[in-house]
């Protein structure tokens, strides 16, 4: 049996900010998630987790704040792609997030006639790719 990816996790420094961002994307995050140290978001075939206290299980964990101070956040180390199916949906999501004050890496652009992308950062500097 081949190994299959079970879950993707993001270590976050501010759980309420992370939960708010991913709710803006439309993820079904359980109520009260902003008050938890660990939140699992079940999706078709896989889960995404947000963990605000990775040092509990990883004593050598470097916080996102430490990485931010060292200038290491937002260097494409992590990228989550959400396929929104249409160019209009990419534009709408990008404009929505910019309206909430999130940081853009690249406004919507055509990669090829068949591919359309926009790139933004979540509150912890993880790159989020919206594609159509």
List the domains of the chain with CATH numbers. 7-56+63-131 (3.10.180.10)
pLDDT score of 76: 45
pLDDT band at 52 (very low <50, low <70, confident <90, very high): confident
Residue 19 CA to residue 103 CA, distance in Å, equals: 16
- Using DSSP's 3-state secondary structure scheme, residue 15 falls into helix
Question: According to DSSP H, which parts of 7-111 are helical?
Answer: 15-25, 64-69, 87-99
Helix, strand, coil abundance in the chain, percent, nearest 5: 25, 35, 40
Task: Please state the φ and ψ torsions of residue 57, each to the nearest 5 degrees.
Answer: -110, -10
Residue 9 CA to residue 50 CA, distance in Å, equals: 6
Q: 43 pLDDT exceeds 50?
A: yes
pTM for the model stands at 0.76
What mean pLDDT do residues 14-37 have? 95
Residue 30 CA to residue 126 CA, distance in Å, equals: 21
pLDDT score of 74: 44
- Could you tell me the two tokens for 5? 């990816």
Q: 33 pLDDT exceeds 70?
A: yes
């Amino acid at each position: 049996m081949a190994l299959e990816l079970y879950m993707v996790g993001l270590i976050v420094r501010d759980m309420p900010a992370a939960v708010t961002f991913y709710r803006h994307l439309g993820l079904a995050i359980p109520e009260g998630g902003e008050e938890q140290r660990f939140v699992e978001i079940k999706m078709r075939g896989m889960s995404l987790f947000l963990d605000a206290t990775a040092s509990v299980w990883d004593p050598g964990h470097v916080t996102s704040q430490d990485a931010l101070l060292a200038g290491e956040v937002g260097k494409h180390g992590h990228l989550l792609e959400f396929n929104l199916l249409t160019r209009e949906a990419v534009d709408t999501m990008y404009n929505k997030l910019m309206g909430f004050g999130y940081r853009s890496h690249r406004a919507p652009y055509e990669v090829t006639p068949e591919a359309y992308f926009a790139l933004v950062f979540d509150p912890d500097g993880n790159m989020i790719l919206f594609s159509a």
